[in-house]
Amino acid sequence: MAKTFVLTLKRSTNKCTQDQKDAVRCLGLRKIRSTAEVKDSPAARGNIMKVQHLIDVEVKG
């Protein structure tokens, strides 16, 4: 069974750089308190590291 991450956007992306906004969008998050389940991959981990101050991460599986 593959490991997945459950991500929740906890802060706004208003004053973030465009790169961080793109990373949040790539992870499937749109509004504050929205959640998304993302499969573990190097690309997903990179995006999570870029915006770790904006999201909550839970490991599942």
The structural domain count of the chain equals: 1
pTM of the model: 0.92
pLDDT (tens digit per residue) in 5-61: 999 999 999 999 999 999 999 999 999 999 999 999 999 999 999 999 999 999 998
Cβ neighbours of 51 (radius 10 Å): 22
CATH number of the CATH domain containing 53: 3.30.1390.20
- Tens of pLDDT, residues 20-34: 999 999 999 999 999
Residue 24: give the domain boundaries: 4-60
pLDDT at 2 over 90: no
Return the C-alpha torsion angle 15, 31, 47, 13, nearest 10.
0
Tell me the CA distances in angstroms from 6 to 14, 18, 22, 24, 58, one per residue in order.
22, 23, 18, 13, 5
Q: Tell me: pLDDT of 1 over 70.
A: no
